[in-house]
């Protein structure tokens, strides 16, 4: 089980705010009317890399450098984690190698390289890329930086603290699940503040391993992760994340790619924000549960806005 302690979150806030200001939390009348709830959107698409992951990367790499370590790091990603590590590694003067699967977002790939990361393309999905990264770490003497770790969770928990401070009386908050750092950060912050807010995880119907793990009470892997929301395209869950989610989340909602794209359009029309698939998934889940949540105060973790133009255009046109 991985929950970030209050002291760890407080320390992470100092590190994060040395690099970026808090992101805004807004409520939009059009979105409230669409959902039937009073909705508070946490804009993690407004960070320096366009996603919440930068907070974890900053916390991890700052601690890594403070330990006197200077050897290069290597990690696997579909994009936002890789951008966060490239960004944070450059700030502390450490080389970062980023392994992505074949067919990965070209715009995310370009962003990782622009931030100083060395890009390696290998494997048909994230899990294959992660296995290759581990092999390269052993062969080249690099530190294998995981995509889920206590320091990453403490870092991303800082956005949850900001959300709960801006809207302390939420009935529920919806958060997407990739490998689990974001939802574990939300659970950690909620518990640190002693709140009763329901934390509701959101996964893709094409990548349901965390929903299956929630139902089974133990990690359950799948054979594939097929979704346009690359930030949620996970087929092998992290056991520590499963333990935290299963003990701290109220439920997990599965949403289809069609529902995600509808939520992306809603974010554009109601809020004029560009949102990637994983970032739109919480709104998709709220819309699916509109009747259940009517009249309640609800937080949405808009986790990122990094989406290729061609895919975004498809989402906007596919009404």
- The CATH number assigned to the domain holding 280 equals 3.40.50.1100
Is 195 part of a structural domain of the chain?
A: yes
Mark whether 290 and 162 lie in a shared domain. yes
As a dihedral over the C-alpha atoms of residue 1, residue 204, residue 224, residue 240, rounded to 10 degrees, the angle is: 0
Mark whether 201 and 264 lie in a shared domain. yes
Is 19 part of a structural domain of the chain?
A: yes
Is 185 part of a structural domain of the chain?
A: yes
Which of residues 252 and 234 earns the better pLDDT score? Answer: 252
Mark whether 137 and 165 lie in a shared domain. no
Mark whether 130 and 36 lie in a shared domain. no
Is 1 part of a structural domain of the chain?
A: no
Is 13 part of a structural domain of the chain?
A: yes
Mark whether 138 and 164 lie in a shared domain. no
Determine the pLDDT at residue 78: 85
Is 129 part of a structural domain of the chain?
A: yes
Give tens-digit pLDDT for 273-308.
999 999 999 999 999 999 999 999 999 999 999 999
> What are the tokens at 118?
């060395």
Mean of the per-residue pLDDT values for the chain? Answer: 95
Is 187 part of a structural domain of the chain?
A: yes
Domain range enclosing 38: 6-52+150-317
Residue range 12-34: mean pLDDT, rounded: 98
Assign 195 a pLDDT band (cuts: 50, 70, 90): very high
Residue range 223-233: mean pLDDT, rounded: 86
pLDDT for 225 beyond 90: no
Mark whether 127 and 139 lie in a shared domain. yes
Mark whether 30 and 155 lie in a shared domain. yes
Q: How far is CA 63 from the centre of its chain?
A: 21
E-strand ranges in 63-186 read 73-76, 96-100, 118-121, 143-144, 172-176
Domain edge (last residue) among 144, 170, 196 = 144
Mark whether 165 and 278 lie in a shared domain. yes
Is 173 part of a structural domain of the chain?
A: yes
Residue range 52-78: mean pLDDT, rounded: 94
Mark whether 160 and 85 lie in a shared domain. no
pLDDT for 1 beyond 60: no
pLDDT for 201 beyond 70: yes
Determine the pLDDT at residue 224: 73
Mark whether 176 and 295 lie in a shared domain. yes
Give tens-digit pLDDT for 135-169.
999 999 999 998 889 999 999 999 999 999 999 89
Domain edge (last residue) among 81, 115, 144 = 144
Mark whether 255 and 164 lie in a shared domain. yes
For the chain, the domain total comes to 2
Which of residues 250 and 124 earns the better pLDDT score? Answer: 250
Domain edge (last residue) among 113, 144, 175 = 144
For residue 194, what are the contacts with CB-CB under 8 A and spacing of at least 6? none
Mark whether 71 and 106 lie in a shared domain. yes
Determine the pLDDT at residue 79: 83
Determine the pLDDT at residue 319: 66
91-94: long-range contacts, CB 8 A cutoff, minimum separation 24: 91/19, 91/58, 91/61, 91/62, 92/61, 92/62, 92/64, 92/65, 93/65, 94/61, 94/64, 94/65, 94/69, 94/70
């Amino acid at each position: 089980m991985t929950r970030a302690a209050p002291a760890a979150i407080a320390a992470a806030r100092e590190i994060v705010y040395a690099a970026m200001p808090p992101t805004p939390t807004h409520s939009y009348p059009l979105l409230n009317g669409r959902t039937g709830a009073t909705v508070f959107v946490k804009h993690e698409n407004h960070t320096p890399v366009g996603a919440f992951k930068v907070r974890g990367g900053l916390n991890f790499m700052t601690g890594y450098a403070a330990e006197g370590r200077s050897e290069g790091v290597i990690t696997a990603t579909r994009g936002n984690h890789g951008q966060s590590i490239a960004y944070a590694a450059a700030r502390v003067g450490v080389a970062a190698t980023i392994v992505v699967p074949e067919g990965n977002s070209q715009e995310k790939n370009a962003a990782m390289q622009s931030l100083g990361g060395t890009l390696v393309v290998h494997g048909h999905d994230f899990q294959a890329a992660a296995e290759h990264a581990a092999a390269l770490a052993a062969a080249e003497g690099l530190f294998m930086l995981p995509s889920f770790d206590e320091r990453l969770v403490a870092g991303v928990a800082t956005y949850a603290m900001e959300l709960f401070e801006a809207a302390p009386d939420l009935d529920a908050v919806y958060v997407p699940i990739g490998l689990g750092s974001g939802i574990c950060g939300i659970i950690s912050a909620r518990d640190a503040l002693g709140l009763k807010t329901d934390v509701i995880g959101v996964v893709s119907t094409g990548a349901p391993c965390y929903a299956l793990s929630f139902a089974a009470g133990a990690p359950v892997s799948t054979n594939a992760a097929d979704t346009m929301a690359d930030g949620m395209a996970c087929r092998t869950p992290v056991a520590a994340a499963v333990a935290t989610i299963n003990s701290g989340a109220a439920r997990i909602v599965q949403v289809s790619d069609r529902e995600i794209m509808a939520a992306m359009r809603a974010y554009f029309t109601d809020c004029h924000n560009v949102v990637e698939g994983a970032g739109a998934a919480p709104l998709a889940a709220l819309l699916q549960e509109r009747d259940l949540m009517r009249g309640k105060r609800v937080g949405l973790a808009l986790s990122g806005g990094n989406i290729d133009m061609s895919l975004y255009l498809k989402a906007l046109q596919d009404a």
